[in-house]
Amino acid sequence: MNHMDQVRMLEFPVNGDERGHLVIVEGLQDIPFEMKRLFYIFGSDPEVVRGQHANRKSQFVLINVAGTSKVKVKDGRGNEAIYCLNRPHTGLFIPTMVWKDMYDFSEDSVLLCISDEHYDPAEYIRNYDEYVKAVLEENE
Ligand code: TYD
């Protein structure tokens, strides 16, 4: 199984009227999981690369609610893809066991990350060689 095949952009409903826009993200409706945790990243310089890990248990949806950034995903077998997050009503779904780098943050970037798991550092794989090994083991 290649988890990277499931990486995809999601589009959320926008309720707009003369008062402005309201974007709705419902667990199991607009994203493919129930949410347990959210965190957001802001104030990262353009040359900073964040992420640089894969998760054994957590799935994520990443939304640039303000500004822009890029996300590079890798499958540990030589395939990679780059997504530009540049609209506040779209999100990038990243399932488990996908390597991710977040970078090219605009000065006003606020990157909202939604997950289906509470934080557990033990389920993060932060070493790329270890990740490649885990991908191979998974497919044995
Ligand atoms: P890190 O995983 O390096 O952030 P990112 O992948 O988004 O660049 O996390 C930075 C620090 O924050 C690290 O010490 C772990 C801590 N942290 C938590 O305590 N809870 C969390 O939910 C997250 C995402 C990070």
pLDDT (tens, 9 = 90+) of the chain, 140 residues, equals 899 999 999 999 999 999 999 999 999 999 999 999 999 999 999 999 999 999 999 999 999 999 999 999 999 999 999 999 999 999 999 999 999 999 999 999 999 999 999 999 999 999 999 999 999 999 88
- Of ligand 1's listed atoms, the one at least distance from the Cα of 51 is 6
Ligand 1 pocket check for 50: Cβ under 6 Å: yes
Beta-carbon count within 10 A of 102 CB: 23
- Closest ligand 1 atom to residue 119 Cα is 22
Cα dihedral 3, 8, 116, 138, rounded to 10, equals: 0
User: Of 91, 84, 46, 95, nearest to 65 (Cα)?
Assistant: 91
Strand 60-66 to 124-125 pairing: unpaired
Residue whose CB lies within 8 A of the most ligand 1 atoms, among 35, 41, 42, 50, for a mutation test: 50
Distance (Å, whole) CA 54 – CA 76: 10
